[in-house]
A and B are shown apart, each in its own frame.
Chain A
Amino acid sequence: MLSLLKSIKNKIVAAFQTTDAVMRGRAVETIAYELDELDNIFGILVLGTFIGIPSPPIHITMDLLPLMENEMNIMLEKVSTAHDPLGDLFSVLEID
């Protein structure tokens, strides 16, 4: 009996935890999207020299490049959605 109650309690706790994680995830979706965009802007600013836009003195790019794998990945991902930026934004805002 005790183990049954414990099992029910664990399941309820797990359900709450999942709901909590989902709700928290949804709460930060927009801000996480904005964060990705900021990371992308930062990447473009620092690594602009590789894509032909005005960039900081080359040594700043060289100094930061080894630490910017994440920004590189975001920039590459953005390439795939670059043709439809509004669609990308609408999907984040859940507008059909």
Chain B
Amino acid sequence: MTMRAKIHFFIGKGGVGKSTTSALTAVKMATTGHDTLLVSMDPAHNQRDIFQQKFAEKPCQVMNGLAVKEVDSHYWMKAYLKDTQAQLKKAYSYQSAFNIQNYFDILKYSPGLEEYAMLLAFESTLHNAENKDDIIFDMPPTALTMRFFSLPFITLVWLKELLKLRQQIYDKKEIVSKIQFGKKKIEQDKVKARLESLIADHGHLSEHFKADNSSVNVVLNNDHLSFSEAIRIQQKLTDIGIDIARVVVNKLKNGELIEDIAHKFDGHPIIRFPLSSQELYGVESLKAYLLENNGLH
């Protein structure tokens, strides 16, 4: 699927200002004529504090050209488990014997389900915002974000190995069927077909992270702690084939970057966000900040 919209991720250490810089970028884009969607993926949902209003799954227009939505990962988890449970009821003739449905109440606490819910929300957001010019994702702090980015890749490794085993089973079933019944064609293996469709889906998802229209912006402050974490983020992303597009230095006091940042990220565009003299909340305040800083060219 070719996306028209440009996708921007804002990632970084907790507290560096991912929400503020993503909100400022969104306002800037909207004021320069881009139809923009700002998506809060962080469970802390700071965008509601910045824009001084509540948001939900349905995008809410906050100014001309800018809509904001909040991803509720619990909603996606519940919907996903409900759907799986319904399929189980349909497929298993005596599922009560396995007592599987009793596990569903605790499955929502399973490791990995939160980032999968985020992936489902991400996919749905892209699907519903196809006509936007830009989609900006305000991401959660590093740990959850890194699990989110790596999930499609880890999933693909598992799926491909499982498919190999399933293919082996399918080939043997074909041999058995040929000898026993004299025919080679056997019933389509639903598990194999499902594995193939999952591989295609996760392949598309991981392509979104690497596509030309996607950019990962690492937000950091002008200090060594957030710099060190930014380096680790860059390494982990490189491991899964994702490049950093820009480095965003927030709360910059005198315009001078510490030497490490300037040196390490020499080849990347570095966007500087000076420290604001006042707290930034409300669209007008964000616009005033951008005006004060010449639109952050």
B88/A65 in contact, CB under 8 A: yes
Q: Render B227-245 as a binary contact track against A, CB cut-off 8 A, 1 for contact.
A: 0000000000000000000
Whole-angstrom distance between the Cβ of B238 and the nearest chain A Cβ: 22
B194 in contact with A31 (CB, 8 Å)? no
Per-position 1/0 for B157-196, Cβ under 8 A of A: 0110010011011001101100111000000001100110
Q: How many A-B residue pairs have CB under 8 A?
A: 90
| One of A24, A49, A68 near B179 (C-beta < 8 A) | A24
**Contacts A27-B179, A38-B172; is A59 near B190 (CB within 8 Å)?**
no
| In contact, B162 and A66 (Cβ under 8 angstroms) | no
Q: Is the CB of B172 within 8 A of A56?
A: no
Q: Does B154 contact A (CB under 8 A)?
A: yes
- Residues B107 and A69 in contact, CB atoms below 8 Å apart: no
Cβ of B159 and Cβ of A65 under 8 Å apart?
no
Interface size of A by CB at 8 A reads 32
Tell me, rounded to whole Å, the shortest Cβ–Cβ distance linking B141 to chain A.
21
Residues of chain B within 8 A (CB-CB) of A63 are 84, 194, 198
Residues from chain A with a CB closer than 8 A to the CB of B80 are: 59, 62
Question: What is the size, in residues, of chain B's interface with A at 8 Å between Cβ atoms?
Answer: 40
Report the stretch among B43-51, B92-100, B216-224, B285-293 that lies at the interface. Answer: B92-100
Of all chain B residues, which has the CB nearest A29? B176
Q: Is B116 an interface residue (CB 8 A)?
A: yes
A48-90 contacts to B, CB under 8 A, are: 49-50, 56-60, 62-69, 71-72
> A35 to B176, Cβ gap below 8 A?
yes
Whether the Cβ atoms of B151 and A57 lie closer than 8 Å is yes
Query: Given the complex of chains A and B, what is the CA–CA distance between A45 and B154 in angstroms?
Result: 15
A16 at the interface (CB under 8 A from B): no
Give the residue of B84, B166, B179 whose beta carbon is less than 8 angstroms from that of A65: B84
CB-based contact B155/A59 at 8 Å: yes
Contact A67 B112 (CB under 8 A): no
CB distance from B72 to the nearest CB of A (A): 18
Closest-CB distance, B177 to chain A (whole angstroms): 9
Nearest CB in chain A: distance from B278 CB, A: 44
* Contact in complex: B116, A67 (CB < 8 Å): no
Residues of B contacting A27 in the complex (Cβ-Cβ under 8 angstroms): 179
A67 x B84 contact (CB < 8 A): no
Q: B102-124 toward A: CB 8 Å interface, digit per residue (1/0)? A: 01000100111100100000000
Does B225 sit at the interface, judged by CB under 8 A? no
Residues of chain B within 8 A (CB-CB) of A71 are 191
- Give chain A residues whose Cβ lies under 8 Å from the Cβ of B92: 66, 69
The 10 listed contacts between A and B (C-beta, < 8 Å) are A35-B169, A42-B162, A42-B191, A56-B155, A56-B159, A57-B151, A58-B113, A62-B84, A67-B194, A69-B91
